Amino acid sequence: MNMKLIAAQDAVASDGVKAITLANDADPRKLTLTGVERIDLNFPKFTDGRAFSQAFLLRRRLGFAGEIRATGDVLVDQLVQMQRTGFDAAVLRADQDLRQAQSQFARYSGFYQGDAVQPQPRFGAAAATTGIGA
């Protein structure tokens, strides 16, 4: 999965898709997702990570297949974790460099743990067939 990165000045509030904005203290399980194509999750401060949990819940437990977009105080350093928790688009804070943001994904190309995108741990299949960890 390639994360779509959007410079702050290029962000469009309404681009013709059925989108909803979810406050970072709202429970995604109470949403009606029928027909929703995009959900915008807000990071009011980079230290507030509740949107990570919301994205994971939407993607893994609720099976939302549309776009989950990070908005607000989005920093380059957060992008890899955003992608791993289910985000597939991010609007960067105005002072963040788009080129530097794109390079983050090459820096971290693999993970041992499963995540929202790839639930199976890297060695999960081998452990299951060999009986390791059973």
Low-confidence ranges of the chain (pLDDT < 70): 1, 13-14, 105, 107-134
Q: How confident is the model at residue 134, as a pLDDT?
A: 44
Are the C-beta atoms of 43 and 74 separated by less than 8 Å? yes
The CA distances from residue 116 to 18, 81, 87, 106, in Å, are 23, 10, 9, 19
Q: How many domains does the chain have?
A: 1
CA pair distance 80, 67, nearest whole angstrom = 16
Q: What is the CATH number of the domain that holds 83?
A: 3.20.20
pLDDT digits (tens, 9 = 90+) for 14-45: 677 889 999 989 999 998 899 999 999 999 99
Whether the predicted model's global pTM rises above the 0.85 cut:
no
* Cross-strand bridge partners of residue 89: 4, 69
Q: What range does the domain containing 18 cover?
A: 4-130
Asked whether 117 and 1 are in contact (CB, 8 A), the reply is: yes
Nearest-angstrom CA–CA distance, 19 and 17: 6
